[in-house]
Structure 1
Amino acid sequence: MLFSAPAAAQEAVHGGPVRALAVAPDGGVASAGFDQAIILWEPGGQRARGVLRWHQGAVNALAALPGGMLASSGEDGLVALWPPRPGPEPLRVLTGHRGPVAGLAAAGGRLASASWDGTARVWDLSGGAPVRVLEGHQGHVNAVAVRSDGLVATAGFDGTLRAWPEGGTAGEAPLTLAEFGLPLNALVALPGGVLAVGGAEGELRLVGPDGRMRAVQAGARPIVALAASPDGTQIAAAGLGGSVTVWEVESLRLRHTLEGPGLPVWSVAWAADGASLWTGGTDRRVRRWNAATGRPMGPVEGPAAETIPAGLHPQGAQVFRACAACHALDAAAPPMAGPHLHGIFGRRMGTLPGYTYSERLARGDITWTRETVGDLFTRGPDVVTPGTRMPIQTVGNAEELDALLDFLEAATR
Structure 2
Amino acid sequence: MATGEVSVAGHAVEETCCPVCLATAAGGPECAYCRWALEGPAVLGPLTPEIRHAFDERLATARRRLDLTAAARAAGYPGRGEPERLARLETLLRGGPPQPAERDQALAELTEPAEPAEPADELTATGLPEPLPDGVVIEIGPRGLRAATVRHGAEQAEATEWPWAELLPGLPDGADETLFRLAGGVGTRTTGASEAQEPTALPTTVDVLASRLRGWAVPERLLARLARRFPQARTLYLPPERPEPGPLRHPGGFTTAVCRGLPDPDDVLLAGGDQDGTVTVWRLWHQAPLASLKLHDRRVTCVDLTEDRLSVVSGGQDGAVRLWSFAASGRVRVLAWHDGWVNALRQRDGVVFSLGDDACVHRTVLGAAGAAGAVLARVGWASATALEVTRDGRVVIVAGSDGASLWDGRTGARTGRLTAEHEVACLALDREDRLVALGCADGVARIFTLGAARTAQAEMDGHTGPVRQVAFGPGGVLATADDAGTVRVRERGGTARTVGAHPDRVRGLAFAPDGRLLSAGADGLVRTWPLAGIHRSDSDKGGP
Same fold (TM over 0.5): yes
Q: Check if 1:50 corresponds to 2:50.
A: no
Name the structure 2 match of 1:134: 377
Name the structure 2 match of 1:19: 256
Name the structure 1 match of 2:346: 105
Name the structure 1 match of 2:423: 183
Amino acid of the residue matched to residue 188 of structure 1? A
Name the structure 1 match of 2:271: 30
What's the offset of the Cα at 1:164? 0.9
Q: Check if 1:143 corresponds to 2:386.
A: yes
- Cα distance in 1 for partners of 2:279, 2:464 equals 30
Q: Check if 1:201 corresponds to 2:442.
A: yes
- Cα distance in 2 for partners of 1:161, 1:11 equals 34
Shift of the 181–138 alpha-carbon distance from structure 1 to 2, 3 Å rule, reads: farther
Amino acid of the residue matched to residue 257 of structure 2? A
Shift of the 241–113 alpha-carbon distance from structure 1 to 2, 3 Å rule, reads: same
- Cα distance in 1 for partners of 2:280, 2:500 equals 24
Shift of the 177–252 alpha-carbon distance from structure 1 to 2, 3 Å rule, reads: farther
Name the structure 1 match of 2:325: 83
What's the offset of the Cα at 1:186? 0.6
Shift of the 24–46 alpha-carbon distance from structure 1 to 2, 3 Å rule, reads: same
Name the structure 2 match of 1:71: 313
DSSP 3-state at the match of 2:471:
strand
Once the two structures are superposed, residues 309-335 of structure 1 have per-residue CA deviations (whole angstroms, 9 ceiling, x without a partner) of xxxxxxxxxxxxxxxxxxxxxxxxxxx
Instruction: Say whether the 8 Å CA contact 1:204–1:215 is kept in structure 2.
Output: yes
DSSP 3-state at the match of 1:67:
coil
Q: Check if 1:152 corresponds to 2:389.
A: no
Counterpart of 2:463 (choices 213, 219, 226) is: 219
- Cα distance in 1 for partners of 2:460, 2:419 equals 17
Once the two structures are superposed, residues 190-227 of structure 1 have per-residue CA deviations (whole angstroms, 9 ceiling, x without a partner) of 22532111021111011112121022214111111122
Amino acid of the residue matched to residue 343 of structure 2? A
Instruction: Say whether the 8 Å CA contact 2:281–2:290 is kept in structure 1.
Output: yes
Amino acid of the residue matched to residue 13 of structure 1? H
Once the two structures are superposed, residues 129-181 of structure 1 have per-residue CA deviations (whole angstroms, 9 ceiling, x without a partner) of 9634211223461211113572111112x232011124325xx4x24412334
Counterpart of 1:277 (choices 517, 521, 527) is: 517
Instruction: Say whether the 8 Å CA contact 2:259–2:512 is kept in structure 1.
Output: no
Amino acid of the residue matched to residue 151 of structure 1? V
Q: What residue ranges of structure 1 are gaps of 5+ in the alignment?
A: 1-9, 295-413
Residues 348-359 of structure 1: pairs in structure 2 closer than 5 A: none
Once the two structures are superposed, residues 239-283 of structure 1 have per-residue CA deviations (whole angstroms, 9 ceiling, x without a partner) of 1122111223x54332x5231343222221221222x22212232
What's the offset of the Cα at 1:21? 2.5
Instruction: Say whether the 8 Å CA contact 2:362–2:376 is kept in structure 1.
Output: yes
What's the offset of the Cα at 1:36? 2.4
Once the two structures are superposed, residues 320-372 of structure 1 have per-residue CA deviations (whole angstroms, 9 ceiling, x without a partner) of xxxxxxxxxxxxxxxxxxxxxxxxxxxxxxxxxxxxxxxxxxxxxxxxxxxxx
Name the structure 1 match of 2:410: 167
Shift of the 88–200 alpha-carbon distance from structure 1 to 2, 3 Å rule, reads: same
- Cα distance in 1 for partners of 2:529, 2:378 equals 38
Name the structure 2 match of 1:242: 485
Higher relative contact order (CA 8 A, sep 6+): 1
Shift of the 246–101 alpha-carbon distance from structure 1 to 2, 3 Å rule, reads: same
Shift of the 122–234 alpha-carbon distance from structure 1 to 2, 3 Å rule, reads: farther
What's the offset of the Cα at 1:39? 2.4
Shift of the 261–97 alpha-carbon distance from structure 1 to 2, 3 Å rule, reads: closer
Shift of the 46–64 alpha-carbon distance from structure 1 to 2, 3 Å rule, reads: same
TM-score by length of 1: 0.60
Name the structure 1 match of 2:153: none
Shift of the 101–161 alpha-carbon distance from structure 1 to 2, 3 Å rule, reads: same
DSSP 3-state at the match of 2:398:
strand
The alignment yields a C-alpha RMSD, in angstroms, of: 2.8
What's the offset of the Cα at 1:38? 2.0
Larger radius of gyration: 2
Give aligned-pair identity as a percent: 23
Q: What residue ranges of structure 2 are gaps of 5+ in the alignment?
A: 1-246, 535-544
- Cα distance in 1 for partners of 2:255, 2:328 equals 20
Amino acid of the residue matched to residue 146 of structure 1? V
- Cα distance in 1 for partners of 2:448, 2:369 equals 32
Shift of the 23–292 alpha-carbon distance from structure 1 to 2, 3 Å rule, reads: farther
Shift of the 34–291 alpha-carbon distance from structure 1 to 2, 3 Å rule, reads: farther
Name the structure 2 match of 1:288: 528
Instruction: Say whether the 8 Å CA contact 1:105–1:112 is kept in structure 2.
Output: yes
Amino acid of the residue matched to residue 288 of structure 2? R
Instruction: Say whether the 8 Å CA contact 2:484–2:503 is kept in structure 1.
Output: yes
- Cα distance in 2 for partners of 1:242, 1:146 equals 26
Name the structure 1 match of 2:157: none
Shift of the 277–192 alpha-carbon distance from structure 1 to 2, 3 Å rule, reads: closer
Once the two structures are superposed, residues 1-44 of structure 1 have per-residue CA deviations (whole angstroms, 9 ceiling, x without a partner) of xxxxxxxxx98523244422233443122122334222222232
